[in-house]
A and B are shown apart, each in its own frame.
Chain A
Amino acid sequence: MTDDGENMESIIKTIDIHKSFPLGNHEMLEVLKGVDFEVQPASLTILKGRSGSGKTTLLNILSMLDDPTSGKVIIDNTDVGSMSVRKRELMRRYNVGFIFQSVALVPIMSAYENVDFGLKLAEYKGDRDARIKEVLSIVGLEKRINHMPSQMSGGEQQRVAIARAVAHKPKIIFADEPTGALDTATGLGIISLFKKLIEKEGITIVMTTHDPNLMSFGDAVYEMEDGELRYVPGE
């Protein structure tokens, strides 16, 4: 459900997600305590919260990188829990894009090749070269396509990661603290870029952040606190 109350079919839906981690001594730490949550297509959903509040754990579960201890994740009307490992791999490959806080570019590949690698994985059917140049141009790196990650600044690297994440036109992008390592201006630039991509490519973006300056850009903002997710209206 969106903040204006309009009903749309959600692209991501979670039902009573619980996640616990063993602490040793047979004790468990419950990080997620029954999360119910929906994401509308072509929107920017922001998950905010303090460090250790469980937002990355939730993002990992949403993006099928991790399994919940209990509960259901439904993506694009499919229950992820019922999918085989192979199917989940393919789902991530074709329909999902990732942006990590650690940037996570492949260090041996140039900006061009990093994006190309994403396209190859997703078996992109169109003109790959044109698409690479296009997305790198969207992120403002058209002049740095042959630069290696080590030759670029943190912000530039993050923009390459974004270009790689969006290049194959996934349905959803999961971004974990994409602006965490960046200064405010660069961070804002990245969020504007997200907005532009949502508008232009119709992508759904779910991102985590603890930067209060970015909240106003989200179509929906949720706050994670002590393993529980709370919708934050008006942000």
Chain B
Amino acid sequence: MIRFIKYKILNKRWLNLCLLTGVILLSGFLCVYPMFKEGSLNRKMQSLFHEYIEKNKEFPAAVWTRGEVTGESYSDVDSVIAFMDELAATWGRYLDIPMMEKEQIIEINAGYGEESLTGKSRQITLDYVNNLKDHADIVCGVWPDEAGSSDNEMVKEALNAGALPCVVSAATYERDSITLGQTFRATLNKSNDKNEFVMVIVGIIEEKDDGVPFWQKRLEKYNRSLFFSKDDYSLLMKSYSIGTMYYQEYVTLDYTYINYNNAEDFYSYLVQFQNIDPEFGSNFKNIISSYMESKKTISAILFTFEIPIVAMLLLFIFMISGRILEMETNEIAMLKSRGVSRGKIIILYIIQSAIISFVGSIIGLPLGYFFCKLGAGTDSFLGFTLKDTSIYSPNLTMLVFAGIAFGLSMLFMIIPVIPISKYTIIERKSHKNEGKAKPLWEKFFLDIPLLGLSIYLLFNYLKQREAISLAIVSGGQIDPIIFLDSSLFILGCGLFALRILHLLTNLIYKIGKKKWKPAEYVAFLQIIRTTKKQGFISVFLVMTIALGIFNSNLARSVNENMERRIDYNVGCDYILEEKWEIILKKLGSNGPTYWRYKEPDINRFEPLKALGVESMTRVVKDKNTEVTVGRQKELGCTLYAVNTREFGQTASLKDGLNDKHWYNYLNDLSQKPNGVIISRNLAEKYELNVGDKIEYGRYSPVESNKLYASAKPEIVGIVDSFPGFESKIYLLQDDGTYKTKDNYLLVVNYTSEVETFSLRPYEIWMKLTPNADYKEIDAFLRENDIKTDSTTSRAKLIQDQRDSTLIQITNGMFSIGFVISLTVCAVGFLIYWILTIRERELIYGIYRSMGMTMGEMFRMLALEQMFSSLFACAAGFGVGILTTFLFTKLISIVYLPREHNIPLEVIFKAADAGKMVAIVLIVFLVCFMIIYRIIKNMNITKAIKLGDD
């Protein structure tokens, strides 16, 4: 049997190679899922940790606990440390994450200690911190265990008097004006006079800046603490024998070890630890929790992206398998007639398909790895790069998916065998005209409910668009049906288009039935009478092309709109917000506080010009400005104060967002020092027009509820959009959801603003040359120790967005899908036509023998290709474009849920469609050249002889 199967496979080697290609692509694409999913989620996890670091300026994976021990059970430092080590080891058995550092603290509350210099009492605690000398630097003085070498006279004197040496943090030193040599007198156990201790400050310490994540409880938070050496602290503990001591333990874990495979287990342990010990805490439970939320969305979206391509590949396998079987129909019928049971025939095909599926699935594994790396390396749609994708690594689940590919491809190869294996050679002949029947979907009108359902879902989603946006802004899950609906529409609409195409072909045929020349006559009959047979290639072409067009347009639209919004939101290439020093002066205890900002020297940024800064300008931005119109007040308006000329040279705004070019508004403002440009929503709300006056005021930087000055400028322009201004903002509500609020804009002249409201911190907006790199500006700021509140780079934001998990998945999966679509489209089309021609050689021989000329033969084939394939391709383009216009705006909400001044625009890049057109045309051309060769070289007598055989 195996020899027979081998013969069968080799006999139709090209077709079986095609089938194998289909299985390899299916297995490869399915294997992308587990690898891409794991990589994307690991990336998501890492980005959440990095966001945490950026936001909180602390290491993101720490666990801690605190508690009490008594001196009776623990008489020295080592015993308490050993107890804490044991605790850490208990967690470690479950939280199997490499430990980076342990901050262990023992604390005795000494109550009020009496200061030697002032005689005042202040609260103090006596602390021991493990490995303090390794993680802190002495700012001045000495360490307690080196106190004997101190040259401070007061210290020496106190030590001679029996005081215990200790150190304090620099923060405590500065805040409490503590000096070296100062002593504290405290009684640890009030019932025992012998427990009175005197402690002398011998040194001031600060955190060591060595990048080691030791200080989970930052040193500045030890604001009542006196730190002792281990020996002295053990002495204290012994004296404090029956008292309660507190311990705190902070364990820093290597967050890079937390990943897709263990995150959920760790989360569950953290929850359990917290249930057992209420004092147990961690700073990464919420990170894992939000990761788990993302995981659901990411998994669902990835899965949704897989479905259409997998369906297309299964259709391809089914189509090729069907073609092979059609060619083997007589063989099967012959076997059946000779007494081979149907079961045996099916087993024969099961073994054959198992061999092909197995080989394909195995080869698909490395292809899946390659696809995943290719997808992970995309920067935009079809923008393949060589960026680092090491976080995407193969995993064992890929084997499961290769197994799924094996099962699915086998199933789709076997399905067509079942009906064919029924017939003997005689029954087969009577079923030969079944090709005339309509395909099942056409017969049972399956396209209509599919189309209806997808349109119904679309309109339902469009109706709920605002709610969906807000839900996504609030961090809600994304409904994967939004994505699936577009695939459903493509299928329904594609089939419907084919139905129309069939009707049209019939109509055209019938209109000219009597008049058609032989070539047209044969071509039309071929198309009409072999609908079922040809249906697959048409459905396949429509689906492939429509999906390719839609996916490319969707990816382009999301990327382009996202970048446009970032461009708009930032308003220029780089924004720098420097830290300003405020100088306060209070007149009398109840008098007003005067303030003055010290402006940093802007000339320090001159060297930036050499780094590619083309222009820069000061921009005062205040998002808490109060506007008064008549008796009505509008709070929280956004104020810009700009140097119009510089601002126009530095900032950028997309054309078409305002009635006229935005430079015109800046020109109008420059003509009127006391002028103001306002946003249209403000003008409409208060029925304001150009020439009207409005009043606005700004709050004091020191008394947040007090307006300290106001101005009454005249409106010189009303704009819809302005660089960096969003007319809708999202406010977080108590229940964690968001609501939208109108945001209003005022743009005034910088000089007038400073005159009225005095100098306050401004942002520095920069325009960079096309080759400039924002990283060089960041480096400049670091090197020159320029303290900033924030820096914003347009290029960095765009890169961050491109690297965000959802965008990465979309670009990656759509790019891979597009490449696969093109491949199967080309292979499928070519194979289908070449086989069709080969199969019809006898018929073509008859046509030629009857005197059909070569020209007529080509006209016939061209017409047939045009109606069954080219029009199907055109329908695919049409359906793809229609789906783009109907669904892009809806699906884009998932990526860009916020209402924005830049309305979502559908981006149709002709180059993508061009690629598909080019591929289709090349395939047509190749196909025609092959057909030409076959027909030209066809020996009529041989062809007819073939029929005899």
A binding-site residues for B, Cβ under 8 Å: 60, 63, 65-66, 86, 89-94, 96, 98, 100-102, 104, 106-109, 113, 116-118, 120-122, 128, 148, 150-151
Listed by A's residue number, 5 A-B pairs whose Cβ atoms lie within 8 Å are A63-B849, A102-B842, A104-B944, A116-B521, A117-B522
Chain B 511-529 per-residue mask, 1 if CB under 8 angstroms from chain A, else 0: 0001011100110011001
Q: Does B843 belong to the interface (CB within 8 Å)?
A: yes
The answer to whether B530 and A108 touch across the interface, beta carbons within 8 angstroms, is yes
Supplied contacts A60-B941, A89-B851, 7 more A-B pairs, CB within 8 Å: A91-B851, A107-B432, A108-B435, A108-B530, A109-B525, A113-B525, A150-B433
Q: How far is the CA of A107 from the CA of B525 in the complex (A)?
A: 10
Closest A residue to B852 using CB positions: A121
Q: How far is the CA of A86 from the CA of B852 in the complex (A)?
A: 10
Q: How far is the CA of A120 from the CA of B515 in the complex (A)?
A: 9
A108-B526, A113-B525, A150-B432 known; A92 and B851 CB under 8 Å?
Answer: yes
Q: How far is the CA of A106 from the CA of B844 in the complex (A)?
A: 10
Scoring B435, B517, B842, B948 by chain A CB atoms within 10 A of each residue's CB, the highest score goes to B948
The answer to whether A104 and B851 touch across the interface, beta carbons within 8 angstroms, is no
Question: Whole-angstrom distance from the CB of A101 to the nearest CB of chain B?
Answer: 5
The answer to whether A104 and B518 touch across the interface, beta carbons within 8 angstroms, is no
Question: Whole-angstrom distance from the CB of B849 to the nearest CB of chain A?
Answer: 5
The answer to whether B944 and A92 touch across the interface, beta carbons within 8 angstroms, is no
Question: Whole-angstrom distance from the CB of A13 to the nearest CB of chain B?
Answer: 21
Q: How far is the CA of A98 from the CA of B852 in the complex (A)?
A: 13
Partner of A102, one of B432, B850, B853, B944: B944
Closest A residue to B843 using CB positions: A106
Closest B residue to A103 using CB positions: B947
Per DSSP, are chain B's interface residues mostly helix, strand or loop, or mixed?
A: helix
The answer to whether A92 and B849 touch across the interface, beta carbons within 8 angstroms, is yes
The answer to whether A106 and B851 touch across the interface, beta carbons within 8 angstroms, is no
Closest B residue to A120 using CB positions: B518
Q: Does B344 belong to the interface (CB within 8 Å)?
A: no
Closest A residue to B434 using CB positions: A150
The answer to whether B846 and A108 touch across the interface, beta carbons within 8 angstroms, is no
Q: Does B919 belong to the interface (CB within 8 Å)?
A: no
Closest B residue to A161 using CB positions: B846
Question: Whole-angstrom distance from the CB of B228 to the nearest CB of chain A?
Answer: 101
Which B residues lie within 8 Å of A151 (CB)? 433
Scoring A60, A108, A118, A120 by chain B CB atoms within 10 A of each residue's CB, the highest score goes to A108
Partner of A89, one of B429, B530, B853: B853
A65-B849, A121-B852 known; A102 and B522 CB under 8 Å?
Answer: no
Q: How far is the CA of A61 from the CA of B559 in the complex (A)?
A: 68
Closest B residue to A59 using CB positions: B941
Partner of B940, one of A65, A94, A106, A148: A65
A117-B522, A121-B850 known; A102 and B948 CB under 8 Å?
Answer: yes
Q: How far is the CA of A86 from the CA of B430 in the complex (A)?
A: 39
Question: Whole-angstrom distance from the CB of A58 to the nearest CB of chain B?
Answer: 12
Q: How far is the CA of A123 from the CA of B268 in the complex (A)?
A: 85
Which A residues lie within 8 Å of B842 (CB)? 102, 104
Q: How far is the CA of A158 from the CA of B852 in the complex (A)?
A: 21
The answer to whether B433 and A96 touch across the interface, beta carbons within 8 angstroms, is no
Which A residues lie within 8 Å of B530 (CB)? 108
A65-B940, A108-B530 known; A94 and B948 CB under 8 Å?
Answer: no
Closest B residue to A101 using CB positions: B948
Which A residues lie within 8 Å of B941 (CB)? 60, 65-66
Closest B residue to A147 using CB positions: B433
Partner of B518, one of A96, A121, A148, A150: A121
The answer to whether A94 and B851 touch across the interface, beta carbons within 8 angstroms, is yes
In chain B, positions 901-949 with a C-beta closer than 8 Å to chain A are 940-941, 944, 947-948
Q: Does B436 belong to the interface (CB within 8 Å)?
A: yes
Closest B residue to A121 using CB positions: B518
Closest A residue to B435 using CB positions: A108
Which B residues lie within 8 Å of A128 (CB)? 514
The answer to whether A100 and B432 touch across the interface, beta carbons within 8 angstroms, is no
Q: How far is the CA of A107 from the CA of B429 in the complex (A)?
A: 12
Give how many B residues have a beta carbon under 8 Å from the other chain's beta carbons.
Answer: 30
The answer to whether B850 and A92 touch across the interface, beta carbons within 8 angstroms, is yes
Chain B 427-443 per-residue mask, 1 if CB under 8 angstroms from chain A, else 0: 00110110110000000
Q: How far is the CA of A65 from the CA of B522 in the complex (A)?
A: 21
Question: Whole-angstrom distance from the CB of A88 to the nearest CB of chain B?
Answer: 9
Partner of B851, one of A60, A96, A109, A113: A96
Question: Whole-angstrom distance from the CB of B900 to the nearest CB of chain A?
Answer: 57
Partner of B521, one of A65, A90, A100, A117: A117
Partner of A148, one of B436, B517, B522, B846: B436
Which A residues lie within 8 Å of B948 (CB)? 100-102
The answer to whether A106 and B429 touch across the interface, beta carbons within 8 angstroms, is no
Which 7 A-B pairs give the minimum distances between C-beta atoms? A93-B851, A150-B432, A92-B851, A102-B947, A108-B529, A150-B433, A102-B948
Closest A residue to B530 using CB positions: A108
Question: Whole-angstrom distance from the CB of B685 to the nearest CB of chain A?
Answer: 71
Which B residues lie within 8 Å of A106 (CB)? 522, 525, 843, 846
The answer to whether B843 and A120 touch across the interface, beta carbons within 8 angstroms, is no
Q: How far is the CA of A122 from the CA of B517 in the complex (A)?
A: 10
Which A residues lie within 8 Å of B850 (CB)? 92-93, 98, 118, 121
The answer to whether B851 and A120 touch across the interface, beta carbons within 8 angstroms, is no
Which A residues lie within 8 Å of B430 (CB)? 150
Which A residues lie within 8 Å of B853 (CB)? 86, 89
Question: Whole-angstrom distance from the CB of B389 to the nearest CB of chain A?
Answer: 53
Q: How far is the CA of A176 from the CA of B851 in the complex (A)?
A: 17
Which B residues lie within 8 Å of A94 (CB)? 851
Closest A residue to B846 using CB positions: A104
Which B residues lie within 8 Å of A66 (CB)? 940-941
Q: How far is the CA of A60 from the CA of B529 in the complex (A)?
A: 31
Question: Whole-angstrom distance from the CB of A222 to the nearest CB of chain B?
Answer: 20
Question: Whole-angstrom distance from the CB of A31 to the nearest CB of chain B?
Answer: 12
Scoring B529, B851, B940 by chain A CB atoms within 10 A of each residue's CB, the highest score goes to B851
The answer to whether B851 and A108 touch across the interface, beta carbons within 8 angstroms, is no
Which A residues lie within 8 Å of B848 (CB)? 89
Which A residues lie within 8 Å of B514 (CB)? 128
Which B residues lie within 8 Å of A118 (CB)? 850
Which A residues lie within 8 Å of B851 (CB)? 89-94, 96, 121-122
Question: Whole-angstrom distance from the CB of A100 to the nearest CB of chain B?
Answer: 6
Question: Whole-angstrom distance from the CB of A115 to the nearest CB of chain B?
Answer: 12
Closest B residue to A63 using CB positions: B849
The answer to whether B849 and A98 touch across the interface, beta carbons within 8 angstroms, is yes
Question: Whole-angstrom distance from the CB of A127 to the nearest CB of chain B?
Answer: 11
The answer to whether A104 and B947 touch across the interface, beta carbons within 8 angstroms, is yes
A93-B850, A150-B430 known; A108 and B947 CB under 8 Å?
Answer: no
In chain B, positions 794-851 with a C-beta closer than 8 Å to chain A are 842-843, 846, 848-851
Q: How far is the CA of A65 from the CA of B842 in the complex (A)?
A: 14
In chain B, positions 472-524 with a C-beta closer than 8 Å to chain A are 514, 516-518, 521-522
Closest B residue to A164 using CB positions: B850
Which A residues lie within 8 Å of B526 (CB)? 108
Which B residues lie within 8 Å of A120 (CB)? 516-518, 521
The answer to whether B525 and A108 touch across the interface, beta carbons within 8 angstroms, is yes
Closest A residue to B856 using CB positions: A121
Question: Whole-angstrom distance from the CB of A99 to the nearest CB of chain B?
Answer: 11
Q: How far is the CA of A122 from the CA of B430 in the complex (A)?
A: 32
In chain B, positions 321-364 with a C-beta closer than 8 Å to chain A are none
Question: Whole-angstrom distance from the CB of A157 to the nearest CB of chain B?
Answer: 11
The answer to whether A100 and B944 touch across the interface, beta carbons within 8 angstroms, is yes
Q: How far is the CA of A140 from the CA of B848 in the complex (A)?
A: 28
Question: Whole-angstrom distance from the CB of A230 to the nearest CB of chain B?
Answer: 24
Q: How far is the CA of A170 from the CA of B436 in the complex (A)?
A: 32
Question: Whole-angstrom distance from the CB of A78 to the nearest CB of chain B?
Answer: 16
Q: How far is the CA of A119 from the CA of B43 in the complex (A)?
A: 72
Which B residues lie within 8 Å of A96 (CB)? 851
Question: Whole-angstrom distance from the CB of A89 to the nearest CB of chain B?
Answer: 5
Which B residues lie within 8 Å of A107 (CB)? 432-433, 843
Which B residues lie within 8 Å of A150 (CB)? 429-430, 432-433
Q: How far is the CA of A94 from the CA of B518 in the complex (A)?
A: 13
Q: How far is the CA of A58 from the CA of B843 in the complex (A)?
A: 22
